[in-house]
Amino acid sequence: MRHEQGQRQGDGRDRRTVLADAAIGVLADAGVRGLTHRAVDAAAGLPLGTTSAYLRTRQALLTALVRRLVELDQGELQTMGEQAPVARSAEELVDGIGVLMRHRLTGEGRRRSLARYACAVESVRDPELREILVPRENAGRAAVRAFLAEQGVADPDGRTTTLLACVDGLVFDRLVGGGEVGADEIRGLVAAALRGPGTP
């Protein structure tokens, strides 16, 4: 039986989106081994067999989960980039990055971060997932690149990629090891992005 994406919940999400959102929560809470069709049914509050009817294989479930995760992350970064004031100094950029990092270490942001890193590990052996997870353009990334270019950084694209990868690594470190991210740590990453090659 073919299931249409037009079947919607009361909150406007179609059934596949509901299942993908539930799968993100299951992955964050129970890990990769706990991600089963049955667990997603229970998390979504839907009848047993619903997930397997829409997403028949584990691969289909993982792919839907990762696509939804990227969609949510992109939407968040786009909104933050559009709403945040343009950084006029390194300290303002530090503040903006701090807001993003705190969001990714608390509440729903933390659960999405846990799911994201679990998917990143899975993508090492899965080219399809790896392609979906490739960093994409958004207003947040563009704002960082624009600031670095304004400061005269020789390779703003490359420096932006490196800076955001370091930020991502710091979030991962705090998720695994606990603790908060200090402003001085972010300040150090931004200072490194602003330094020229070979500058001590």
Structural domains in the chain, CATH included, are: 15-194 (1.10.357.10)
Q: What is the pLDDT of residue 8?
A: 56
Residue 14 phi/psi, 5-degree rounding, is -75, 165
Residue 16 is classified by DSSP as: H
Q: What is the pLDDT of residue 12?
A: 58
Q: What is the pLDDT of residue 34?
A: 97
**Per residue in 130-164, pLDDT tens?**
999 998 899 889 999 999 999 999 999 999 999 99
Which residue has tokens 């299942």?
Answer: 19
Q: What is the pLDDT of residue 1?
A: 38
Q: What is the pLDDT of residue 3?
A: 46
User: How far is it, in rounded angstroms, from Cα 31 to Cα 147?
Assistant: 37
Q: What is the pLDDT of residue 2?
A: 41
Task: Give residues with Cβ within 8 angstroms of 79, minimum separation 6.
Answer: 139
User: How far is it, in rounded angstroms, from Cα 12 to Cα 136?
Assistant: 26
Those residues of the chain that have pLDDT short of 50 are 1-6
